[in-house]
Amino acid sequence: MPGRSAGRRVNSATVRMVSLILVFALGWVGLGYRLFQVQVARADELRELGEQQRMVERTLPPQRGTIFDRNGDLLATTVDAQSIYAVPHEVKDPVLTAQQVGIITAEPWEPILERLQNGENFVYLARQVKPGVASQVMDIGLPGVFTETEASREYPAGGSVAQVVGFVDIDGIGAEGLEFAYDDALKGTPGSILYERDRLGNPIPQGRREEIPAIPGLDLVTSIDLPLQYSAQESCRRARERTDANGCWVVVLDVSTGEILAMAGTPAFNPETRLDENGNGFSNFVVRGQYEPGSIQKMITVSAALDKGLVGPDTIIPGVAARIEINPGACASGTDDIYGCYSDATSHPTEDMAVREVIARSSNVGTIMIGRKLEPETLYHYLDAFGIGTETGIDLSGEAVGGYNDNAACRVCIASMSIGYTVAATPLQMAAAYAVIGDDGVWTQPHIVTDKVDADGSIVEVEPETHKVVTPETAQTVRELLAGVVESGTASAAQVNGYRVGGKTGTANKIDDSGSYTNETIASFVGLAPIDDPQIVVGVVVDEPKGAARFGGTAAAPVFSEVMEQALHRMGVTPDA
């Protein structure tokens, strides 16, 4: 039956052929289905997955702006620093790791161990360490310990300018001073970069790359003169040692522009430890400290009376006694100024005094008698115009406002205000008030930053506010009165070699927590030079000087003399005496 046999073979071959075709067909269908899935159905998902594997996106941190002094010297800049971090689950011996890192970084190892054991997947062991420290740690080859580059803010001038510049926190965000006030301008705008990498994580040359560059922060040019700043701080340091004072603060202002040339003080602040010499936090008394200015405010009282034409420099104030009683019986209960009994610093017979003598001798009684010629609203107007009780608007954070007591029910407040009590002012406000006298009666907003410079070098100049306070004639008269204070009055120690200067001493008793006046004082001096064409104002405040040097003329005036002399020479002011 060859025919039947052949027919079976044909059938068998056909079956095998058909089966094979079916297998192939199914295979192709399967492949087609898979292809459809990959190319169409899951195309987006798989494309994204592929991109995730080979594409890396990183944020490009912007370079924080640099801060310069007026001569182009660096006050704050940003450099790369190394930070040491760990992936705790990769660390084999946490105790040993903490100890080794602690030894090299000179930090206690227990907190490092705590961080390693706190259950996080990523912990910093030490941030922004000094150059060489990170490589020492890496050389040991501790498992799970790595380094990364971070931006570190550096202050090459150290503590001499720290109270102005301030500092940033560990994440580079402005925390105090200019760093805080100008954080938005300094920080810049982050960028981003998207690039293709190989399996080792290296960028693929010619690979896909999309970059949005970071925009660097603006550079700030300040009006600070670094050598003068240092010199002012040293003068304060010496004064503090000499008088055993709690603190000493100096501000140096350019009369016509309102630029701050120096703003220094002690106890000095250390930007590395974030503490001052006494272990306290950041402070800047020139801007944040409020005190009763005492006699330096007599300048405002007399300016108001002169400007209103109520007195002239040689107007005689008749019958100036050594003591005056505003509230009947106040003097009988003691000499508590706030309740209406005011005395001059030294006893003298009742006498007629010219206005210039009242100022030169800093007579409280004489000044109160001048002040009583003013309507309360008039005195308030001049206090406001001179900037007392109003923020100057200086470009630093935390400025104190100050204020004065304008309560009509307060019977003694006008008298007290005339001589600088029941008034709270900052050293900066007082310096700016004296700059009014130097600038022919115009108040100019004190400021530190003069220019903002972007990465292209474009400069944005800062324009300070100004307003008129007294007439130029009044200002000139007051300048002569202030010169008399130095030449024949209470401030002979304020004289400056080669220059004619003017200014006013102030010695104000401090108030304790209960509101009573104590024997402790705040001694101050504010003055201008050269007095015939003032260029510079220097204000000095010494907090609680002890012993014989507890007065403005003995504690603050010598500091003024030193700082003013340096300032005049630094600014190239021609001598006039």
Partner 1 sequence: MALVIVLAVAMFGLAFSRTALDRSALELSRFESAIAEAGVVNEQLELEVARKESPVRVAPLAKGLGLVIPDERRPIAVEGVVEAPRGVERASTFDIPVEDATTADPQLAASQPGD
Residues that bind partner 1 (CB under 8 A): 73-74, 77-80, 131, 154, 156-160, 203, 205-206, 226-227, 229-231, 234, 497-498, 569, 572, 574-577
Do the strands 219-222 and 67-68 form a parallel or antiparallel pair, or are they unpaired?
parallel
Residue 185: CB minimum distance to partner 1, A:
20
Q: Whole-number minimum distance, CB 501 to partner 1, in Å?
A: 14
Q: Report, in Å, the least distance between residue 499 CB and partner 1.
A: 9
- Is residue 307 a contact partner of residue 382, using CB atoms and an 8 Å limit? yes
> Which CB atom, from 230 or from 291, has the smaller least distance to partner 1?
230
Toward partner 1, which CB reaches closer, 458 or 497?
A: 497
- Length of the chain counted residue by residue: 577
Closest CA to 293 of 53, 98, 505: 505
Query: Does residue 267 have a cis peptide bond before it, meaning omega lies within 30 degrees of 0?
Result: yes
Residue 576 structure tokens: 């006039």
140 near 100, Cβ under 8 Å?
yes
Query: Which residues 6+ apart lie within 8 Å of 100 measured at CB?
Result: 137, 140, 142
3-class secondary-structure state, position 404? strand
Measured from the CB atom, is 75 or 330 closer to partner 1?
75
Residue 200 Cβ vs partner 1, minimum distance, rounded to whole Å: 14
Contact 295, 384 (CB under 8 A): no
Q: Shortest distance, CB of residue 205 to partner 1, whole angstroms?
A: 3
Classify residue 554 by its DSSP letter.
Answer: I
Q: Which of 224/478 has CB closer to partner 1?
A: 224
In the chain the first and final C-alpha atoms are separated, in Å, by: 146
CB of 86 to partner 1, least distance (A): 24
For partner 1, give the closer residue by CB, 80 or 210: 80
301, 474 Cβ separation under 8 angstroms: no
Q: Give the nearer residue to partner 1 in terms of CB position, either 227 or 464.
A: 227
- Minimum distance of partner 1 from residue 138's CB (angstroms): 17
CA 506 to chain centre: 26
* Best CA proximity match to 165, nearest among 192, 140, 196, 186: 186
Cis amide bond preceding 558, omega within 30 = no
Q: How far is the CB of 309 from partner 1 (least distance, A)?
A: 32
| Residue number, 209 or 468, with CB nearest to partner 1 | 209
The answer to whether 481 touches 474, Cβ cutoff 8 Å, is: no
Which is closer to partner 1, CB of 160 or CB of 362?
A: 160
